[in-house]
Amino acid sequence: MSSKPLMDAHVREKIIADPDVLLEDQDIMRALVAANEQTMGTNIVDLRGIAMERLAARLDRLEDTHRSVIAAAYENLAGTNQIHRAVLRLMDATKFEVFLHDLTTEVADTLRVDVMRLVLESEESGDDPAVKKMDSVLKVGKPGFCDFYITQGRDIPVRQVTLRQTQADDDTIYAEQADYIRSEACLKLDLGEGRMPGMLVMGSEDPHLFTPQQGTDLLTFFTGVFERTMRRWLA
């Protein structure tokens, strides 16, 4: 081995002054280990090299997990902020008409949904002129309509929050926008003792905005706030 340095003097001095730089660079360490294995030949098993490879692989997995956790935390924080802003907007309304208007405008924009519909069950038809006037947001259904819509007629438990991908077969909820809705959130509403249930439906053109695999904690909170707000208006 020659005693004359083959490396650039400036690079060599920098490495000697701070060797930790090499140890922290995974690509350089892999290259050094590979070079060391070549000098040993093919008949020698380097257990240290194998252990380092396994540790490096484990470190890569841990870093991927760490990044995923951080991304999920930021996403959850963003979702929480969205729900909080939507709730504050609901509480600002001083008239029921304004409350309904806000659902289809500011609240829908805040939650990034394309359609928002409030469904109330009633023994009476929805032909009342006052109801017709708010047809763009308020729908009236017969008793049992909400459960039937949420379960799609199947014999399954009715959850407070149901998230799913969909392709609307009729325009009962979404009217002329039915052809574009690809996912929805159905929030079952308990409007208080002596009142029929209701439902808040959020529809999106994005098929991935609402899926069954997503958590429902934030929308469950939003449902609880919305229920209490509706009870105030219906009192």
pLDDT of res. 78: 77
- Rounded to two decimals, the pTM is 0.68
Across 7-11, 30-34, 94-98, 185-189, the highest mean pLDDT is recorded for 185-189
Tokens of 138: 């308020």
Confidence check: pLDDT of 107 > 90 = yes
Q: What is the dihedral of CA 161, 164, 169, 172, to 10 degrees?
A: 20
In terms of DSSP bridges, do strands 115-121 and 183-189 run parallel, antiparallel, or are they unpaired?
unpaired
Separation CA 82–CA 105 (nearest Å): 14
Domains and CATH numbers, the chain: 89-234 (3.30.450.40)
Confidence check: pLDDT of 26 > 60 = yes
Specify the higher pLDDT residue, 207 or 133: 207
Enumerate residues 6+ apart whose C-beta is below 8 A from 174. Answer: 115, 117, 168, 181, 203
In the predicted model, what is the mean pLDDT of the chain? 82
pLDDT of res. 62: 82
Stretch 151-159: mean pLDDT: 90
CB atoms within 10 A of CB 49: 16
pLDDT of res. 179: 87
Q: Name the packing angle between helices 47-92 and 217-234 (round to 10°).
A: 10
Confidence check: pLDDT of 98 > 50 = yes
pLDDT of res. 74: 67
Separation CA 208–CA 226 (nearest Å): 24
Stretch 51-63: mean pLDDT: 76
- Which range, of 106-115, 132-141, 174-183, averages the lowest pLDDT? 132-141
Stretch 103-113: mean pLDDT: 92
Separation CA 118–CA 134 (nearest Å): 10
Task: Assign 206 a pLDDT band (cuts: 50, 70, 90).
Answer: very high
* In contact, 182 and 206? CB cutoff 8 Å: yes
* In contact, 179 and 168? CB cutoff 8 Å: yes
Rg (CA), the chain: 30
Confidence check: pLDDT of 235 > 70 = yes
- Which range, of 1-10, 11-20, 29-38, 155-164, averages the lowest pLDDT? 1-10
Specify the higher pLDDT residue, 77 or 103: 103
Separation CA 108–CA 78 (nearest Å): 16
Confidence check: pLDDT of 192 > 50 = yes
pLDDT of res. 1: 47
Separation CA 165–CA 21 (nearest Å): 50
Confidence check: pLDDT of 5 > 80 = no
Separation CA 227–CA 192 (nearest Å): 8
Confidence check: pLDDT of 225 > 90 = yes
